[in-house]
Structure 1
Amino acid sequence: MSDAWRIVEDDLSGAAIRALLEQHFAGMLANSPAESCHFLDFDGLRAGEVTFWSIHRGDELAGCGALKMLDARHGEIKSMRTHDAFLRQGVAARMLVHIVAEARSRGLDRLSLETGSGPAFEPALALYARHGFEECEPFADYKPDPFSRFMTRSLQV
């Protein structure tokens, strides 16, 4: 078995990815009120404007992430999640680098995200900040919410 990392476009049909996403949904709902949770469900992740990837080490699912096209120049990061067995092994950073590269290859000027606030979200906020994301006002259809944090970064060189 290889220990190499690989990122693949995923159709969400596998039991492992579905279980990881169920855990993601439950985690969001456990740390924020339902009306402040903006995760995409399975149908939302299959929408035409969304590309969903899973990241694997060898044969094991390590995490996932998605890119939602808001318009021809602006994308949104969605559904970033690391499997518990792979925490603090660089999974999220690898996925984030992949999504940023994909957004650039599509000619996007900007990449934004919404995540939660509070202690459970501090590791994610720190990761995004390390990768050049800065706090911003709500974008797209989001509204100000004390349980949401909004971040963005320019992709122009």
Structure 2
Amino acid sequence: MHIHIDDLSDASIHALLSEHLDNMYALSPPESVHALDLNQLRQTDITFWSAWDGETLLGCGALKEITSQHAEVKSMRTPNKLRRRGAGRAILAHMIEVAKSRGYQRLSLETGTDEAFKAAHKLYESVGFQYCGPFGAYAEDPHSIFMTLAL
């Protein structure tokens, strides 16, 4: 598996992000969907990574800088047909190491409450994320769970 910073130009990335957005809107009301589209992921405060096995896209993830000491995990996704192969865990571990090297003291994230998000909750819990309240511009939402990790 090779993880690298991605410029969001590959059609495979477009398809995976489209799958991600479609799935988020299917699971949560529109006002509770905080997934980013391609243009939002191209902002200068966001670094986007993709994981590949040869020509096969295994997943993606991004870090959005909130402050010089706090970043948010965004766009964690593995293709539906390629789940349970460790790509999500590898991307998350990579992003945690990058966050530490950048001097962030905290990583936070928002995810959904639907049963379909339970595997993600377990992944985040397994690396030390703890449940918390809203951070940044987020507000309390019955469709959102917030988690944070002190680095």
* 1:76 pairs with one of 72, 80, 84: 72
Identity rate of aligned residues, in percent?
A: 49
Residue of structure 1 equivalent to 2:51: 55
CA deviations over 1:18-43 (Å, ceiling 9, x no partner): 00000000000000000000011111
* 1:88 pairs with one of 58, 78, 84: 84
Q: Whole-Å Cα distance in 1 between the matches of residues 123 and 12 of structure 2?
A: 25
Q: Whole-Å Cα distance in 1 between the matches of residues 82 and 36 of structure 2?
A: 23
Q: Whole-Å Cα distance in 1 between the matches of residues 50 and 133 of structure 2?
A: 29
* 1:16 pairs with one of 6, 12, 25: 12
Q: 1:84, CA displacement in angstroms?
A: 2.1
Residue of structure 2 equivalent to 1:67: 63
Q: 1:8, CA displacement in angstroms?
A: 1.1
Runs of 4+ aligned structure 1 residues displaced above 4 Å come to: none
Residues 29-44 of structure 1: pairs in structure 2 closer than 5 A: 29-44=25-40
Q: Whole-Å Cα distance in 2 between the matches of residues 34 and 118 of structure 1?
A: 14
Residue of structure 2 equivalent to 1:28: 24
* 1:135 pairs with one of 127, 131, 138: 131
Instruction: Give structure 2 stretches of 5+ with no counterpart.
Output: none
Asked if structure 2 preserves the Cα contact closer than 8 Å seen for 1:116 and 1:147, the reply is: yes
Q: Whole-Å Cα distance in 2 between the matches of residues 12 and 18 of structure 1?
A: 7
Residue of structure 2 equivalent to 1:106: 102
Q: 1:83, CA displacement in angstroms?
A: 1.3
Instruction: Give structure 1 stretches of 5+ with no counterpart.
Output: none
Asked if structure 2 preserves the Cα contact closer than 8 Å seen for 1:62 and 1:85, the reply is: no
Number of residue equivalences: 151
TM normalised by structure 2 equals: 0.98
TM normalised by structure 1 equals: 0.95
SS at match of 2:67: coil
